[in-house]
Amino acid sequence: MLAIFLLVFFTQGVWAQTKDVVGLNVHWALGGFNREGKYQKRLRDGKTQWAREHFYQEVIMGEGQEGWLARYDYVMRQYKGLNIQVVGMLAYGRQHGDFNQPDLSEWEEFVTTVVRRYGKDVAVWEVWNEPDSPDFLVPNTAAAYIPILNVASKVIRKYDPHARILNGGLSFPNASFARTLYEQVPKDFDALAFHVYTCRQPNHNLLQAQLAEIDTVLRTYAPKDRVWVTEFGCSTGSSGITQEYATAYKQEVLDILFAYPWMERAFIYTIRNRDDAGAYENNFGLLDVDMEILPGWVWYQGLLRGPYDQKRVDSRTQTAQAKKLRKELEHYFGKGNIPVHGERWTQLVDAYVYGGYTVKAIAQGIRFGGKTVHPTILWKVWRKQEIYQDYINKDWTGKMFIHAYGKPRISAAKEQEKSEKLLSILKEDYHFDQLRINADNWPLLSKAYIYGNYPEEAIARVQISGGKTVHPEISWHAWRKRTEYQEGMKVPLP
């Protein structure tokens, strides 16, 4: 079967995940005693933008409540000073080691206390942790969890109405549990959360299969929803797992996750190693117990803060800039005809807003496969490169681009639609396998049909007539008067 070949307008590889979408499990209040300065330094040096913090009912509502609230106050002030946004995880019972469904009136009191006190400091609330795991909820069923979520959701909607709500991150991409939540309490959470721990698997087949099931659930119940992976990581306490392997695994997981359009944020587990559990649980850290650097931290530090290592502007500003860019580009491509959409359009907006790229550089990048726009290097640096200079003025007139037969290019979607229509006609009405049309000549023929107004019968004869029925630059209305065309149209079709 003949493939439909379209120009790839922007080909600068996969754009790296950045710290505005990759956060850290920090849990500073519970785990940062006697390390306050180290936490501050590492988070500052790491340019961390998102942190997950556990608000623990046992300590907040226990006998030492006043001291613990003072500690959480301190930690939240540190996050604010570091410009770090927080996911607040609300979890567990009032007694140590109690993972049964909590008394719902006590649970409501706890959630109310925390949300009223810290709502101004928390961007997202996560209700419980791994409710599908027997280690964290007994029984680990949706029936036991849904009342917990329902009570918390009502409190959060009342006292912190602008915050987003996540379900407690599921212990794995648990499609069955997620489906039940969407069927029974879809209004109690704003985005689905789950965890990813598959580094002891020999490959990513299990993860890919689980994500495919999640994708089906989302398409069925919530096609516009986003997903937060509130934990993913790899323990070097497992036999044969090295620091290097664990680091590579984390990058591979990010690449897999962010290939899905519904993926919004992922949080690495965890900032540092522990010393209070077994070998497996103790060794997930990017830093060692004393917060000294491990290979994982070097990798994390290398992630950019955001596009072009810039902190993201607010959504209103970015939307306004995107509209401005579109209007400017339509001066060259025509209204509604910019041949880029979806993720590629987002990348170009980032180049414009954060990379400092000019409209001309972006327009030429669209025309010439991204040569004048780099996905991570600022324009003021990239413009000095030879490849940029070779293409920035190539065929530039400052006027609307002429793509073919004296016409500007239509949108990629419309072009593909017309190209597919031509292919369908040729296959249905002609002996296509005898027309000698292939991947090499198809782009030219498709262009002649779309822009040159050549009819299907001329396209069908072009190869068997020695090219007489289609001219690569002269439109059909002019070429049909030529002797060559008329001779070619007399050639019998197979």
Q: Is the pLDDT of residue 403 over 90?
A: no
Separation CA 264–CA 30 (nearest Å): 27
Chain region(s) in the chain for CATH 3.20.20.80: 22-305
Complete edge-to-edge strand list for the sheet that includes strand 263-268 = 164-169, 124-129, 85-91, 50-56, 22-25, 263-268, 227-232, 192-196
**What pLDDT sits at residue 12?**
37
Once rounded to an integer, what is the mean pLDDT over residues 390-402? 93
Question: Which residues in 199-293 belong to E strands, given as ranges?
Answer: 227-232, 263-268
Which own/partner pairs from 458-466 qualify as long-range (CB within 8 Å, at least 24 positions apart)?
458/485, 458/488, 458/489, 459/422, 459/426, 460/426, 460/430, 460/435, 460/493, 461/488, 461/489, 461/491, 461/493, 462/488, 463/435, 463/436, 463/437, 464/435, 464/436, 464/491, 464/493, 464/494, 465/489, 465/491
Q: For residues 27 and 402, which has the higher predicted lDDT (pLDDT)?
A: 27
Phi and psi, residue 284, nearest 5°: -95, -5
pLDDT confidence bin for 9, thresholds 50/70/90: very low
Q: Is the pLDDT of residue 336 over 90?
A: no
Can you tell me which residue has the tokens 């933008």? Answer: 49
CATH of domain 22-305: 3.20.20.80
Q: For residues 86 and 3, which has the higher predicted lDDT (pLDDT)?
A: 86
Separation CA 422–CA 416 (nearest Å): 10
Show Cβ contacts of residue 160 under 8 Å, excluding neighbours closer than 6 positions.
Answer: 115, 119, 122, 125
Helix pair angle (142-159, 104-118), 10° resolution: 40
Q: Which helix (H) or strand (E) holds 112?
A: helix 104-118
pLDDT confidence bin for 5, thresholds 50/70/90: very low
Phi and psi, residue 136, nearest 5°: -130, -10
Once rounded to an integer, what is the mean pLDDT over residues 140-157? 99
**What pLDDT sits at residue 409?**
82
Percent of the chain scoring above 70 in pLDDT: 97
3-state DSSP helix/strand/coil percent for the chain, to nearest 5?
45, 10, 45
Can you tell me which residue has the tokens 């002030």? Answer: 77
Please give the radius of gyration of the chain, using alpha carbons only, rounded to the nearest integer: 29
Structure tokens at 47: 């340019």
Phi and psi, residue 53, nearest 5°: -130, 130
Q: Is the pLDDT of residue 10 over 80?
A: no
Per-residue model confidence as pLDDT tens digits over 73-91? 999 999 999 999 999 999 9
Per-residue model confidence as pLDDT tens digits over 433-475? 999 999 999 999 999 999 999 999 999 999 999 999 999 999 9
Per-residue model confidence as pLDDT tens digits over 256-267? 999 999 999 999
Q: Is the pLDDT of residue 16 over 80?
A: no
Once rounded to an integer, what is the mean pLDDT over residues 290-306? 96
Residues in the chain: 494
Separation CA 243–CA 427 (nearest Å): 55
Once rounded to an integer, what is the mean pLDDT over residues 57-72? 97
Once rounded to an integer, what is the mean pLDDT over residues 336-362? 93
Once rounded to an integer, what is the mean pLDDT over residues 350-369? 96
Helix pair angle (175-184, 205-221), 10° resolution: 10
Once rounded to an integer, what is the mean pLDDT over residues 424-438? 95
Per-residue model confidence as pLDDT tens digits over 223-280? 999 999 999 999 999 778 999 999 999 999 999 999 999 999 999 999 999 999 899 9
**What pLDDT sits at residue 263?**
97
Q: Is the pLDDT of residue 397 over 50?
A: yes
Separation CA 293–CA 286 (nearest Å): 7
Percent of the chain scoring above 90 in pLDDT: 88
339-348 burial: b if 16+ Cβ within 10 Å, else e: bbeeebbebb
**What pLDDT sits at residue 15?**
52
Burial class (CB in 10 A: 0-12, 13-18, 19+), 136: middle
Q: What is the DSSP string of 267-288?
A: EES-SB--SSS-HHHHT--SB-
Once rounded to an integer, what is the mean pLDDT over residues 308-316? 91
